Amino acid sequence: MRVLGIEGTAWAASAAVFETDSPARATDDEHVFVESDAYQPESGGIHPREAAEHMGEAIPEVVRTAIDHARERADAAGESGPPIDAVAFSRGPGLGPCLRIVGTAARAVAQRFDVPLVGVNHMVAHLEVGRHRSGFESPVCLNASGANAHLLGYRNGRYRVLGETMDTGVGNAIDKFTRHVGWQHPGGPKVERHAREGDFHPLPYVVKGMDFSFSGIMSAAKQAYDDDVPVADVCRGLEETIFAMLTEVSERALSLTGADELVLGGGVGQNDRLQRMLREMCEQRGADFFAPENRFLRDNAGMIAILGAKMYAAGDTLAIEESGIDSNFRPDDVAVSWRGPEES
Ligand code: ATP
C-alpha cells in the first residue's frame, strides 16, 4: 500500500509518501518519503494571509515531488496503474485559508488518480506517529505543539482530552515572548539555545487540575525582560516552568489512566530539556517513554500519510462532497476506526 499525505495547517507545506504492507504496525521495510517547504515570516509571527500565499505556491511543488517519488517506487516494483492507493490530507485543526488549499489539492489529486480521499485530524496524527514508531499499544500522548497543548488518552473508540491549555498553545506562548525580545520566528529553538547559558528566573506556575495556562507566564517573562533580567535567565525560567507543568500533568494522566507508556508529539517536543524531564519522570514510575525523530515531531506530512494509511486500511475514507476542512477539528471529535473499541 502506498499513501500520499498532504500537510499544511500553518507553516509547513509538506507532502509525503508512506509505503507499507502492514499499516497497523511499524516494520523494517516500510518507507516514508517527506518533502517540506517551510513558511518563514519576515517579521513577527505567522500571518494567516502570508501563510496561505505560501501554501498556494509551495503545496503544488511538494505534492509534485512526492508523486514523482511514488511513481519511481511503483515503476521499480513493476506496477501498473496509479502510483498511490489513497490521498490523505490534514483536515484540521489549523488556519482556514491554509487548510482550504490543502483540501483542494488533495481532492484534485484523488480525482486525478481516481483513488479514495482520507481526512486526517492533525492532532491525532501528531499522536499516532509516535504510537506507530514506538510500537506502544495504548500510550498517553503529550501534544506540545505551536497552536495546542494537551494530553490525550484512548478510551472506547476515541482519544479523550485528559488535560489541555486554557489559553494559548505552548509554542505560540514561547513565540510571543521571543517576538517581544525581537527574535525571528520560530522562537522555541532560540529559547532552548539561550536557556543553556542562563540561571533559573522564577515565573508563575499555573496548573489547574489537569489543565494548564501559559498567558500569565508570558506576561511575567516579558515583564522580567523589560526589567533587565538577563534574557538567558528568563529563557531558562520559561523552559523549567513550562516543561515542569507539562511533565506534572503528563504524570497525572499516566496515573489516572493506569497507562505505562507516554509518547510525545508536536514541534515543542523537539526540545531536549522537555524530553529529558519526561523521560526521567517515566523512568521514576516505571513507564516507557518515546519521542519520534524531530522530522516527525514538528508539522510534517509523514504523520498524515502514516495515519492516513491506517484509516484507509480500515475503510475510513471520505466522499469528495463531504471532504470539507474543519479549522476547529478537535481530536475527541474523531471516531477512531483503526483501533478496536475493546482496546482501552
Ligand atoms: P500545531 O501542530 O498545534 O498546529 P504548529 O502548526 O505551530 O502547531 P508545530 O510544528 O507542531 O506547529 O510546532 C511549532 C512550534 O514549535 C513553534 O512554536 C516553535 O517555536 C516550537 N519549537 C520548535 N523547536 C523548538 C524547540 N527546540 N524548543 C521549544 N519549542 C520549539
Report the percent of the chain where pLDDT is more than 90.
95
Give the pLDDT score at 20.
97
199: pLDDT strictly greater than 90:
yes
Distance 48 CA to ligand 1 centre (A): 16
Against a cut of 0.90, is the pTM above it? yes
Domain with CATH 3.30.420.40 in the chain: 2-127+296-333, 136-294
pLDDT-based confidence at residue 25 (cuts at 50, 70, 90): confident
Digit-coded pLDDT (tens) for 283-341: 999 999 999 999 999 999 999 999 999 999 999 999 999 999 999 999 999 999 999 65
Q: How many residues does the chain have?
A: 344
Distance CA 225, CA 164 (A): 27
Give the pLDDT score at 341.
57
283: which 3 cell numbers? Answer: 523512568
* ipTM confidence: 0.98
How many Cβ atoms sit within 10 Å of the Cβ of residue 290?
A: 19
Mutate to test the pocket of ligand 1, among 299, 325, 326, 329 (most ligand atoms within 8 A of CB): 299
| CATH number of the structural domain 2-127+296-333 | 3.30.420.40
Enumerate residues 6+ apart whose C-beta is below 8 A from 131.
139, 141, 263
42: pLDDT strictly greater than 90:
no
What rounded mean pLDDT belongs to the chain? 96
Mean pLDDT confidence for 232-244: 98
Query: Looking at ligand 1, which residue's alpha carbon is closest to its atom 20?
Result: 188
2: which 3 cell numbers? Answer: 502506498
- Bridge partners, residue 31, by sequence: 19
**Percent helix, strand and coil across the chain, each rounded to 5?**
45, 20, 35
Mutate to test the pocket of ligand 1, among 268, 297, 328 (most ligand atoms within 8 A of CB): 268
What CATH architecture does domain 136-294 belong to? 2-Layer Sandwich (3.30)
Cite the DSSP H helix spans in the chain.
48-76, 96-113, 122-134, 170-181, 188-195, 215-226, 231-257, 272-285, 294-297, 301-313
What interhelical angle do 188-195 and 231-257 show, nearest 10?
110
